[in-house]
Amino acid sequence: MRRALTALALTAAAAAVLSACSSGAAGPAAPTGPGPVTITWWDTSDAEKEAPAYRSLVADFEKANPGIRVAYTNVPFDGAREEFKAAAGTSDAPDVLRAYVGWTADLAKSGDLASLDGTVAAADSAKFQPALIEQATYGGKLYGIPQVTDTLALMYNKDLFAKAGIAAAPATWDELRADAGLVKERTGVDGFAFNPQDYYAMPFLYGEGADLVDVAGKRITVGSPAAVAGIDTLRGLLAAPGVAGLDTTENAYATVMDAFSNGKAAAVLQGPWETAALLGSPAFPDGANLGIAAVPAGGAGRPGSPLGGHNLVVNATSDAAHRAAAQKFVAFMTSAGSQAFAAARNATMPTRDDAYTAEVTTVPGLAGFRALLPTGRARPALAEYTLLYEPFGTELAKILAGQEDTRTGLANAAAESAKLVPDYTAP
């Protein structure tokens, strides 16, 4: 599952103004004028768990920028990209969108986004994780500012590992395979459970130095020998003693997380978005028992996990006054103060180091996930990249269900991928 999947420090004077506000976030003041400019923000965050913090930040922004008003709308994540594309160029389009990182290149290619190069929104771009700026860039131009980020980790139950005599998290898939067997043998519960979706299989490709495509070489690589080796490694792991039986239903995600939260599975691949939900569960009442480690390494010798998250992007067809106001709003919402405020309340991951305050780093799980960001793989600047997950996921399901062998399944995925990127060389 691709989830989501979060910044710019502004002037010292503005920071002083904002220090009295509830969030402590910083932002520049708008120029005085005949009346306030009203911009619209479509926020795709969770309406119940995350939106309240962002609404509070909007209020702070308006206090610090009396010349700008923000019309806040929380829109469902599913379908938001299509809704934005349909509204683009009309009066219904928002000035700012919280866009999943996989949408940014697509929306930039279609001309729906304004470049942020040279604007106040990008003033502190050097303070962001470089890989996150990379996946907010298309065609050499910056089209988004990272608001939140995420990556996959090996989450594990420290107590179950200790009872099985395992002193440290596995560093390779082979070690995870062996550890799963020990956990089952010595505790009676499954050592590992896997959610059989495309996104969760990407670390197995990265572990062999593979990907769905090679953007620099304009080649489709999902059917390459390295990719086959990665998925064969996954198949071998799932067949090993101590690994939970594969759930191939639509409830697989919930099944895996239910087993982990109730101490019936000792390890899973998962992102920080599930941390808050795990706290208070039978296995993780306070977070102390929750282990977070890098996904295991494959044959290439190093771990790799997809970077997710969301960028704030600006509508290309907004007029000059609304674009300028939108850029200031993006700068504020992605500032260190705003990110720290949201992270402490939503358990989301900031996208810049200066937002990891003492309060933020005490949020269970965030410090562990932060340490893993350097192993994350940025989304390539290819508009069609997110679409490539569909043929890969379709064939992955057949492979893991034993309906076809790995080589045949990935060859089929490559053939379907060629229809999405016809200018790429097919195997």
What CATH number does the domain containing 283 carry? 3.40.190.10
Same domain, 216 and 350: no
- Residue 3 within a domain: no
- Residue 2 within a domain: no
Kindly report the pTM of this predicted structure: 0.88
pLDDT tens, residue by residue, 398-419? 999 999 999 999 999 999 999 9
Spatial separation of the C-alpha atoms in residues 3 and 32, rounded to whole Å: 39
Same domain, 102 and 172: no
- Residue 5 within a domain: no
Residue 32 confidence class, pLDDT cut points 50, 70, 90: very low
Spatial separation of the C-alpha atoms in residues 340 and 223, rounded to whole Å: 42
The average pLDDT across 187-197 equals: 97
The average pLDDT across 307-327 equals: 97
Q: How many domains does the chain have?
A: 2
Sequence-distant (6+) residues with CB within 8 A of 74 are: 43, 44, 45, 47, 51
- Residue 427 within a domain: no
Residue 99 confidence class, pLDDT cut points 50, 70, 90: very high
Percent of the chain with pLDDT over 70: 92
Q: Of the candidates 316, 341, 270, which has an alpha carbon nearest to the alpha carbon of residue 107?
A: 316
Alpha carbon 91 to chain centroid distance?
Answer: 30
Q: What is the mean pLDDT of the chain?
A: 91
The average pLDDT across 274-289 equals: 92
pLDDT the model gives residue 353: 94
Same domain, 29 and 166: no
- Residue 394 within a domain: yes
The average pLDDT across 47-56 equals: 96
pLDDT the model gives residue 34: 57
Q: Is the pLDDT of residue 397 over 60?
A: yes
The average pLDDT across 391-403 equals: 97
Q: Is the pLDDT of residue 209 over 70?
A: yes
Same domain, 127 and 166: no
Same domain, 411 and 271: yes
Q: Which domain holds residue 367?
A: 12-150+307-377
